[in-house]
Structure 1
Amino acid sequence: MKKGVLLVNLGTPDSPNTGDVRKYLREFLMDERVIDIPFYKRWPLVNLIIAPFRGPKSAAEYKKVWTENGSPLLYYGLESQRLLQDKLGEGYHVALGMRYQNPTLKSALMELKRNAVTEIVVVPLFPQYASATTGSVTQKVMELVKGWQIVPDVSFVQHYHRHPLYIKTFADIGNKYLRAEKFDHVIFSFHGLPERQILKAGIDSCCKLRGENGCVRKAYPRNTFCYRSACFETADLIAKELGLKDTDYSICFQSRLGKDPWIQPYTEDTIIDLAKSGKKSVLAFSPAFVSDCLETTVEVGEEYKEIFEENGGEHWQLVESLNDHPMWIKCLEDLVKGNEAHVPELDA
């Protein structure tokens, strides 16, 4: 009898060709948890405006990250699956699924079903909980398994933004740059969300969305699932592991789309302010992503580098994601086995 493990990441187009990118964008953006507006508004926005016009531009960006192994997000997902399977051993069966596109969640769950697993631990590869990521995975998995004749025990790892091994792995990767050269400042850039998605969860009474100093930066019962607070906590813990002072680093949010307010401060504004204040060299982390992808390699690594240099900066260095780092695979093993007892309690 085996236990099943389902690793889930967001997804990637099957190729960097415009047709495949449009197909991916349509599935991704039609998710009601991603663009949380009524269907009659979401459908024309996605299918008549975003996918047709954004498809070619996104395809060009995907070509920048595509390797001989294909999409790095898929490649490192498969590597993590293989390495975690080796570490867990014969008592487990590890499958990989993508929330959008291939390999599908349905095919991954059927793989576990064929192996007659007695329970399934779902590990979304998103360290900080958000409705648009972890919440969407949870909803889809439940929809897929509810019709099975035999429904095994299914549990979800909802977040692990303060797990010591997750924190230590990012610090370990970043340290190789900090040991090699001196940086004027460190940036922690997380993927952004519309403010309304946090407010809809009823978390507005726990922290202020606007202004870095207004957010509660540690977890406590009322804000456990606050994405913005979790991001601040992650950055603070990595910074502590690196030995940084509060003035050595900034926390900000990238990938803003549309005119509605997103959680702040915005990464672009932060970069411009740093460059204009005289900071010449910056080390940039993107800890919301455990695998290199478009948002890390292109957005943070290239686009933000250009913004920094255009405003007077001289050296911009991206810290790569966790990818297949051995300590990250050990973290996944801990999450599967529920070994969270050694995670320090935070002040209430």
Structure 2
Amino acid sequence: MPTPTRRIGVLLVNLGTPDSPQTGDVRRYLNEFLTDGRVIDMPAAVRYPLFQGLVVPLRAPKSAKIYQQLWDAERGSPLLYHGLDLQKLLQEQLGDKYVVAFGMRYQKPSIESALEELRDAAVDRIIVLPLFPQYAAASTGSVQEKVMDFVKDWWIVPSINFISTFADDPGFISSFVARGKAEMAKHDYDHVVFSYHGIPERHVLKGSFKGYCQLGKCCNTYNKNNRYCYRAQCFATSRLLAAGLGLRDDQYTVTFQSRLQSRLRDPWLQPYTDEVIKEFPAKGINNVLAFSPAFVADCLETTIEVGMEFKELFEEAGGKHWQLVPSLNSEPYWVSAVADMVRSN
């Protein structure tokens, strides 16, 4: 008898997006996102009433207005359509021996529907790629937990391999370097900012391997002891990007954005992007190129927060030119980099 054709399933997962920029849809998205115990790591008895009863109702109308600025009239949410574009192009590049599915951790298309698509295709094994370069329990860890929560009910569970981090992946680094060089060719910059999504400091300390992570110089090297330390990965990515762009240490700064500190009253990873950039003009830094290397697709945190809000802060402080480097989205070199990661796993 001929040997059955063996196919590999690939599950791409990104964070999520509301179905529309209307307040009701944004509220549903925020309710699911902000009640995830890996995102807000407080007891459920406190988390649910606090966020569903107070934080989300207050935040949803404001977030909806921001999503309306981001929304494409024809294609909708950039995080969704860039993900679908990546899925299509990756499928074309990998060929018929692979089945590529795409899901979101929160809202639609769901991880469950993407896994069912792979199960229906009778794949021999599944490679799960959360589209977060740097591992964090609140992002990659949450995706991994959700995947396992679904497949535990399958009678037959295929082999599953998670690509948990690609913070130092050569293809990922070279793709962002190419994006950066294209922008640097258009303008002269005094300084480069690598702005990463922030997480509470306690998340780093909770995941510290035998107490290795101390939120200090321990992140100056990337090794087996801090392989899954989010902060160490951010600095490792930044060093590699700086090397690829030909930057000296004094020509770039690593910062963290999107904190919820005002509500949760505990420190997030520092330095904070919004505070750092306001000091640049006084230091003679007037032309800044900004990267968001924690995101591989443009979204609210890149286009709006870094591209628009930080630009306004910088200019109000006296800065002259602020430019966001577009994310990788579905650029050909990024599609090839993802294909290489899949094949090597």
Give the TM-score of the pair, scaled to structure 1. 0.95
| Unpaired stretches in structure 1, ≥5 consecutive residues | 340-348
Offset of residue 276 of structure 1: 2.2
Contact 2:10 2:127 in 1 (8 A): yes
The match for 2:255 among 252, 257, 260 is 252
Q: Which residue of structure 1 lines up, in the alignment, with residue 70 of structure 2?
A: 65
The match for 1:218 among 197, 221, 233 is 221
Q: Which residue of structure 2 lines up, in the alignment, with residue 144 of structure 1?
A: 150
Whole-Å Cα distance in 2 between the matches of residues 106 and 12 of structure 1? Answer: 16
Whole-Å Cα distance in 1 between the matches of residues 281 and 71 of structure 2? Answer: 30
Whole-Å Cα distance in 1 between the matches of residues 182 and 95 of structure 2? Answer: 31
Contact 1:286 1:296 in 2 (8 A): yes
Contact 1:127 1:159 in 2 (8 A): yes
| 2:287 maps to amino acid | S
Whole-Å Cα distance in 2 between the matches of residues 38 and 87 of structure 1? Answer: 44
Structure-to-structure mapping, 1:158-237, within 5 angstroms? 158-203=164-209, 205-209=211-215, 214-237=217-240
Whole-Å Cα distance in 2 between the matches of residues 282 and 215 of structure 1? Answer: 28
Structure-to-structure mapping, 1:62-141, within 5 angstroms? 62-67=67-72, 68-141=74-147
Whole-Å Cα distance in 1 between the matches of residues 331 and 245 of structure 2? Answer: 18
The match for 1:29 among 30, 34, 38 is 34
% identical equivalent positions: 54
Q: Secondary structure at the match of 2:278?
A: helix
Q: 1:204 to 1:297 in 2, by over 3 A?
A: farther
Contact 1:209 1:264 in 2 (8 A): no
**1:73-112 deviations in whole A, cap 9, x for unaligned?**
0000000000000001000100001000000011000000
Q: Secondary structure at the match of 1:6?
A: strand
Q: 1:183 to 1:300 in 2, by over 3 A?
A: same
**1:163-204 deviations in whole A, cap 9, x for unaligned?**
111001111011111112101111000000000111111348
| 2:186 maps to amino acid | A
Q: 1:300 to 1:203 in 2, by over 3 A?
A: farther
Contact 2:205 2:213 in 1 (8 A): no
Whole-Å Cα distance in 1 between the matches of residues 322 and 212 of structure 2? Answer: 35
| 1:33 maps to amino acid | R
Q: Which residue of structure 2 lines up, in the alignment, with residue 53 of structure 1?
A: 58
Q: Which residue of structure 1 lines up, in the alignment, with residue 303 of structure 2?
A: 297
Contact 2:127 2:161 in 1 (8 A): yes
| 1:281 maps to amino acid | N
Q: Which residue of structure 1 lines up, in the alignment, with residue 288 of structure 2?
A: 282
2:243 is equivalent to residue 240 of structure 1? yes
| 1:118 maps to amino acid | D
Contact 1:217 1:230 in 2 (8 A): no
Whole-Å Cα distance in 1 between the matches of residues 335 and 177 of structure 2? Answer: 15
| Unpaired stretches in structure 2, ≥5 consecutive residues | 1-5
Give the TM-score of the pair, scaled to structure 2. 0.95
Whole-Å Cα distance in 1 between the matches of residues 300 and 22 of structure 2? Answer: 15
Contact 2:18 2:25 in 1 (8 A): yes
Query: Once structures 1 and 2 are overlaid, which stretch shifts more, 114-123 or 171-180?
Result: 171-180
Whole-Å Cα distance in 2 between the matches of residues 180 and 316 of structure 1? Answer: 13
Contact 1:126 1:288 in 2 (8 A): yes
Q: Which residue of structure 1 lines up, in the alignment, with residue 341 of structure 2?
A: 335
Runs of 4+ displaced beyond 2 Å? 202-208
